[in-house]
């Protein structure tokens, strides 16, 4: 009898231990997170947002995830990245990079790509002080190996300045977009092997100038842009309406020239440069001009295409490892397309590794279809870009949302997805109160309480402030303009003169709220 009781006790103990073990195994695994940031890619420059550029991998992410029709950034490279990683419109020494919080929670962290922050971002928020592996560059640099060191912007590999020969890359000649992926995929092997959750940031730099691409990618597009920018803008807005990203009633904004008074151009070649900021009707151009401009846009398209090919490599890796179901993939861009003349000379054609060429304003205007103006501007063409997020565990595939969001919302969204609680009343000597709020209610099919306001635009000369359907925005530091974006999403009708009370109310609200966010 005693033996039977002993056997029964052992069986029960084994069952309890086994049950405990099962419960431990059932503990949810934090999601892997892949954040991909495009550079100077306009609202309609990718397939899921109406482009003719071939982006099958972004198309796939959109069809398997959610697209936001209205997503705001900070309108310029450094300001957008600062807000992305800190969750702040503007901060200071107590700002924290969310990658640091993920790392503290057990994530393996990888940074492969551009790192360009506003001056207020503290040094402890930089990649070499946080990430387990990092390959970074600041601002812009050539995509192929620079022909000389004169203009070279060095890469930083785990805190050390390196040249191209020291950077792991699988294909010759070196091409930055490919090399960033090569290193990211190599570094992913460790957390995958250890079954450790990972955060991968890919800041491709594409399609920021200079216009450089692999010849086989350029060939895919050569000749396709000879129909001209007027026709392509019409085609893109038609597709955007068909997809359902903009209302059927939305009007195509008038063609924009670049009228930024605070951004000049290099000296020399004044006759050529005089045309670069201008919109000109396509049919009025010579055949020689059309051919040169077709090449210019073909190179830009090739750069976006090559970025998409590399995104496909990452998605294929996640699929092959069986990780897609619990991996968040986010794609967005830092600002609208760039119209600025930073051409160093005109000796080499766009695409040539020896040259340093930039996109003209008329093609940048196409990228920002259907909106007005460009990068740096607070108008929708500068501050409104695409946002795609895929997470099969949580997000219903093929979703489009018209709820509004901002780049400061990404930080709290990622922390909530990872199950990490940010202090509700942070110790301001360590953490600053976040300016955004989580998008999880939207991602899971619900409704998020809309933020009280959104701010963007590069400096006060191009500042925008949006509250509900109403928006005020400056152009070249001049008087505020006023728009109702529900009725006029492409900012055609400035209501400032006709609605002085609304204008006064919006300006007062901006003055009050800008103090809250450090402006």
For tokens 């359902």, name the residue: 244
Q: Is it true that the peptide bond before 173 is cis, omega within 30 degrees of 0?
A: yes
Count the Cβ atoms, other than its own, within 10 Å of residue 228: 18
Return d(Cα 489, Cα 404) in angstroms, integer.
Answer: 13
Q: What is the mean pLDDT of the chain?
A: 93
Poorest-pLDDT segment among 149-158, 446-455, 475-484, 503-512: 149-158
Sign of CA dihedral 205, 207, 211, 214: positive
| The pLDDT of residue 69 is above 70 | yes
- Pair type for strands 387-390 and 405-406: unpaired
pLDDT, tens digit, for every residue of 212-248?
Answer: 999 999 999 999 999 999 999 999 999 999 999 999 9
Number of domains in the chain: 1
| The pLDDT of residue 24 is above 50 | no
> What's the confidence (pLDDT) of residue 99?
97
> What's the confidence (pLDDT) of residue 150?
53
In a domain, 229, yes or no: yes
> What's the confidence (pLDDT) of residue 493?
98
In a domain, 366, yes or no: yes
In a domain, 154, yes or no: yes
> What's the confidence (pLDDT) of residue 20?
39
Vertex 248: Cα angle to 491 and 448 (nearest 5) = 75
Averaged pLDDT, 262-285 = 96
Return the half-sphere exposure (C-beta side, CA atoms, 13 A cut-off) of residue 36: 30
| Burial readout 448-470 (b: 16 or more C-beta within 10 A, e: otherwise) | beebebbbbbbeebbbbbbbeeb
In a domain, 215, yes or no: yes
| The pLDDT of residue 292 is above 70 | yes
- Identify the three-state secondary structure at position 324: helix
In a domain, 63, yes or no: yes
pLDDT, tens digit, for every residue of 369-399?
Answer: 999 999 999 999 999 999 999 999 999 999 9
| Burial readout 268-277 (b: 16 or more C-beta within 10 A, e: otherwise) | eeeeebeebb
Return d(Cα 324, Cα 102) in angstroms, integer.
Answer: 19
> What's the confidence (pLDDT) of residue 478?
98
- Identify the three-state secondary structure at position 172: coil
Q: Ramachandran region of residue 488, left (φ > 0), alpha (ψ -120 to 50) or beta?
A: beta
Concatenated DSSP letters of 227-284: T-HHHHHHHHHHHHHHHTSS-TTPPPPPP-----TT----SS-HHHHTTTT----GGG
Strand-pairing partners, residue 111, are: 134, 201
The reply to whether the predicted model has a pTM over 0.85 is yes
In a domain, 382, yes or no: yes
Confidence grade of residue 475 (pLDDT, cut at 50, 70, 90): very high
CATH code of 196's domain: 3.40.720.10
Strands of the 405-406 sheet, one edge to the other: 384-385, 71-72, 405-406
> What's the confidence (pLDDT) of residue 141?
84
> What's the confidence (pLDDT) of residue 147?
72
Show the domain range for 339.
32-449
> What's the confidence (pLDDT) of residue 410?
98
Confidence grade of residue 10 (pLDDT, cut at 50, 70, 90): very low
| The pLDDT of residue 149 is above 80 | no
Q: Do 332 and 121 touch, CB atoms closer than 8 A?
A: no
> What's the confidence (pLDDT) of residue 21?
42
Q: Do 184 and 202 touch, CB atoms closer than 8 A?
A: yes
In a domain, 439, yes or no: yes
> What's the confidence (pLDDT) of residue 484?
98
């Amino acid at each position: 009898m005693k033996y039977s009781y002993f056997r029964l006790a052992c069986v029960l103990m084994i069952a309890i231990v086994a049950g405990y073990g099962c419960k431990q195994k059932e503990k949810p695994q934090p999601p892997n997170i892949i954040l991909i940031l495009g550079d100077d890619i306009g609202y309609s420059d990718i397939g899921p947002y109406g482009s003719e550029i071939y982006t099958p991998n972004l198309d796939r992410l959109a069809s398997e995830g959610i697209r936001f029709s209205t997503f705001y950034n900070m309108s310029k490279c450094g300001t957008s990245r600062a807000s992305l990683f800190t969750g702040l419109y503007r901060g200071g020494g107590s700002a924290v990079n969310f990658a640091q919080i993920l790392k503290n929670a057990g994530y393996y962290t990888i940074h492969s790509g551009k790192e360009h922050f506003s001056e207020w971002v503290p040094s402890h928020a930089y990649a070499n002080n946080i990430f387990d592996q990092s390959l970074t560059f600041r601002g812009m640099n050539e995509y192929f190996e620079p022909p000389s060191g004169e203009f070279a912007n060095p890469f930083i590999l785990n805190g050390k300045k390196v040249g191209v020969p020291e950077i792991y890359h699988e294909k010759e000649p070196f091409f930055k977009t490919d090399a960033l992926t090569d290193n990211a995929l190599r570094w992913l092997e460790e957390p995958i092997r250890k079954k450790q959750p990972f955060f991968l940031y890919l800041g491709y730099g594409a399609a920021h100038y200079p216009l450089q691409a692999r010849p086989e990618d350029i060939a895919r597009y050569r000749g396709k842009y000879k129909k001209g920018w007027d026709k392509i803008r019409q085609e893109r807005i038609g597709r955007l309406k068909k997809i359902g990203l903009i209302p059927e009633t939305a009007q195509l904004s008038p063609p924009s020239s670049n009228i930024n008074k605070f951004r000049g151009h290099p000296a020399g070649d004044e006759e050529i440069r005089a045309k670069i900021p201008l919109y000109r009707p396509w049919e009025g151009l010579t055949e020689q001009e059309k051919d040169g401009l077709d090449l210019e846009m073909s190179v830009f398209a090739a750069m976006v295409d090559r970025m998409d090919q590399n995104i496909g490599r990452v998605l294929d890796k996640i699929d092959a490892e069986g990780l897609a179901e619990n991996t968040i993939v986010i794609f967005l861009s830092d600002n609208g397309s760039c119209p600025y003349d930073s051409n160093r000379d005109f000796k080499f054609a766009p695409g040539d590794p020896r040259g340093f060429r930039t996109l003209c304003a008329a093609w940048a205007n196409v990228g920002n279809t259907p909106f007005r103006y460009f990068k740096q501007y607070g108008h929708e063409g500068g501050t409104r870009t695409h946002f795609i997020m895929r997470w099969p565990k949580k997000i219903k595939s093929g979703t489009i949302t018209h709820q509004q969001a901002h780049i400061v919302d990404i930080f709290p969204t990622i922390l909530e997805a990872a199950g990490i609680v940010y202090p509700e009343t942070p110790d301001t000597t360590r953490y600053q109160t976040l300016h955004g709020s989580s998008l999880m209610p939207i991602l899971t099919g619900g409704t998020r309480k809309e933020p009280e306001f959104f701010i963007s635009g590069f400096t006060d000369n191009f500042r925008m402030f949006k509250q509900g359907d109403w928006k005020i925005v400056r152009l070249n530091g001049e008087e505020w303009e006023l728009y109702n974006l529900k009725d006029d999403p492409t900012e055609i009708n400035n209501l400032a003169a006709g609605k002085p009370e609304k204008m006064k109310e919006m300006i007062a609200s901006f003055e009050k709220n800008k103090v809250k966010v450090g402006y």
